[in-house]
Amino acid sequence: MGAGHAHRATAGADHVSVGTTARAVLLAGLGVALLATLVALVVWWPPGDAAERSAEAGGAAGQFAAPGVTFPSGEIVEITARCPGQGLPDGSGCSELRVQVEGEAEPVSVQVPPDVLDSGIGKGDTVELLRTPTPEAENGQEASYSYFATERNGTLIWLGLFFVVVVVTIARWRGVFAIVGLAFGGLVVWWWMLPALLDGSPGVGVALTSAAAIMFVVLYTTHGFSLRTSTALAGTLVGIVLTAGIGVIAIGDARLTGISDESGSILATFGALDFQALLGCALVIAGLGVLNDVTITQASAVWELRAVSPEASRAEIFASAMRIGRDHIASTIYTIVFAYVGTALILLMLLRVYDRPLIDLLSTEQLAEEVIRTLVTSVGLVLAVPITTGLAALVAAPDRTD
C-alpha cells in the first residue's frame, strides 16, 4: 500500500501528503464495511411487533403488572413511622408514609423500606405508587397502595441539561455534534438492536452491525469527513471485530451461560434466546466507547506528527505515535477496570465478606462474566492502537516534493 504516489491533501487544518494506494484501499474497505452494515440492517430489521411477540411468548411474564394495576403518583404529606436501624425490615416493615394521591379524598398510608427514608425523602417529595384493585372493595377500599419508586425526573432533567450546557460551552460545535451522535447511538440501540435481539437475530452479528452503524455516523458527525477520521473509523471497525471474535472464544471456553442475575432469568421466560450470544453482544457494545477514544487519538497523533515532520519515514512516524499510544493504553485500561469496580461495588463488597478465597469466587457466573468482559474489551482496544497507528502511518505519507 505504501508504494503508491503521494499528493498533498487537507486533513482538518493540517496539510499532509497522502499515499494514493493506501487511501484507495482504505476508502474501498470502508465502502465494503458500509455496504455490509446496510445489508445487515435490512436483513435483520426487526418487525414492528418483535417486542410484543416476545412478550406473548413469555405469557404472564410479558406483563409488567397484573391487569388493572396502575402506577399513580402522589405527594408525601407526612412520615408517620420510621424503622430504627439500616436495611430492609423483616416481615411487613414499619416505615410508613402518608401520600396524597390525585383522585383520592384522603391521603393513603404506604409502607416503605427504611433505606427509602434514609435516602433523604420527606414531606413535599413525589413518589410513584402501585395501585392494586381490592376484590369486592374490602374494608370499604377500592384499591390498596404500595411504594414503587421515588419520582426523580426533576433531577434527571436538570442534570441532563447541565451536561449539555457544559459540553457545548467547552467543546462548542464539536460538543453539539457529539451529543447528536450520542442521541443517534441511543436510537440505534433502542429501536433496532434490542428489537432485533428479541426477534432472535444472532447476537454477535447484531452487535457488529449496531456498532458499525453507530461509528459511521458518530465519528463523521463529531470529527468531520476527512482521511484522518476515516483512518480512525477503520481502526475502530477492526477493533470491534477482534473484540467480538475474542469474546466469542472466551465465552465458549469459560462455559458462561450469559444469565448472571435476576434480569436474565426473567428475560429467559420470553422465548428461546441465545444468552451466550447476547453476552457477546454486550462485550462489543461495552468496549465501543473506549475503542473509539483510542483510535481517534492515534489517528490524530499520526496526523499531527506528520504535519510537523513531513519528510519523516512511515516507520519513524509509527514509532513516535506508538509512544503516545502506550501511555493512552495504560490510562484507558485503568478506566475500564475502575469503571467496572464503580458499577459493581455492592457485588464486590458482598463477595469480600464471603468466607471463601478470591480465586474460588472468580469462577462464579457474575464475577467471571465481568472479568472476561473487562479483559476482552481491554485486549480489543490494545490491539486497535497499533492497527490504527499503522493504517494512519500508511495513509499519511512522507512528503517527497521539493
| pLDDT tens-digit map of 245-292 | 999 999 999 888 887 776 777 777 766 788 888 888 988 998 888 888
Are 224 and 278 part of one and the same domain?
yes
By the 8 A CB rule, do 247 and 32 touch? no
Tell me what pLDDT residue 8 has.
46
Task: Show the cell assigned to 241.
Answer: 471485530
- The answer to whether position 324 is within a domain reads yes
Are 294 and 387 part of one and the same domain?
yes
Are 108 and 249 part of one and the same domain?
no
Tell me what pLDDT residue 388 has.
95
Task: Show the cell assigned to 171.
Answer: 467543546
- The answer to whether position 24 is within a domain reads yes
Sign of the dihedral defined by the CA atoms of residues 87, 91, 94, 97, in that order: positive
| Structural domain of 260 | 6-44+171-397
- The answer to whether position 116 is within a domain reads yes
Quick check: helix, strand or coil at residue 96?
strand
**Residue 396, H or E segment:** strand 396-397
- The answer to whether position 109 is within a domain reads yes
Q: What are the φ/ψ torsions at residue 5 (nearest 5 degrees)?
A: -70, 160
**Residue 370, H or E segment:** helix 365-395
Measured CA to CA in angstroms, residue 45 lies from 52, 63, 130, 209, 225 at distances of 15, 25, 36, 11, 28
Task: Show the cell assigned to 303.
Answer: 496526523
Are 276 and 229 part of one and the same domain?
yes
We report the CATH number of the domain holding residue 93 as 2.40.50
Are 217 and 353 part of one and the same domain?
yes
- The answer to whether position 63 is within a domain reads no
Q: Residue 145, CB half-sphere, CA atoms under 13 Å: how many? A: 25
What is the 8-class DSSP label of residue 90? S
Backbone conformation region of residue 397, classed left if phi is above 0, alpha if psi is from -120 to 50, else beta: beta
Are 388 and 261 part of one and the same domain?
yes
- The answer to whether position 77 is within a domain reads yes
Are 203 and 83 part of one and the same domain?
no
Helix axes 288-308, 203-223, angle to 10 degrees: 40
How far apart CA 187 and CA 278 sit, in angstroms, is 19
Q: How many domains does one find in the chain?
A: 2
7-32 exposure pattern, b = at least 16 Cβ within 10 A, e = fewer: eebebbebebbbbbbbbebbeebbee
Cβ-based burial of 369 (10 A; exposed 0-12, middle 13-18, buried ≥19): buried
How far apart CA 239 and CA 231 sit, in angstroms, is 12
Helix axes 365-395, 20-43, angle to 10 degrees: 140
- The answer to whether position 253 is within a domain reads yes
- The answer to whether position 55 is within a domain reads no
By the 8 A CB rule, do 88 and 118 touch? no
Most distant CA pair in the chain: distance in Å?
Answer: 96
Measured CA to CA in angstroms, residue 244 lies from 42, 191, 209, 381, 392 at distances of 21, 22, 12, 12, 23
| pLDDT tens-digit map of 86-124 | 444 443 457 888 888 887 888 888 888 888 887 888 888
State the DSSP string of 264-309.
HHHHGGGS---HHHHHHHHHHHHTHHHHHHHHHHHHHHHHHHHHH-
Are 187 and 279 part of one and the same domain?
yes
Task: Show the cell assigned to 214.
Answer: 453507530
How far apart CA 241 and CA 180 sit, in angstroms, is 25
Are 297 and 385 part of one and the same domain?
yes
Strands (E), 5-125: 6-11, 14-19, 73-81, 95-101, 108-112
Are 362 and 265 part of one and the same domain?
yes
Are 222 and 266 part of one and the same domain?
yes
User: Would you say the pTM of this structure is higher than 0.85?
Assistant: no
Q: What is the mean pLDDT of each run of 10 residues along the chain (402 residues)?
A: 43 60 91 96 80 51 66 85 55 72 83 82 87 66 82 92 95 90 92 89 93 94 90 95 94 85 71 83 87 91 89 90 90 83 80 76 82 90 93 84 50
**Any residues with CB less than 8 A from the CB of 232 and at least 6 apart, and which?**
219, 223, 292, 295, 296, 298, 299, 300, 388, 392
Quick check: helix, strand or coil at residue 166?
helix
Nearest to 143 by CA among 81, 114, 112, 101: 101
The residue type at 269:
T
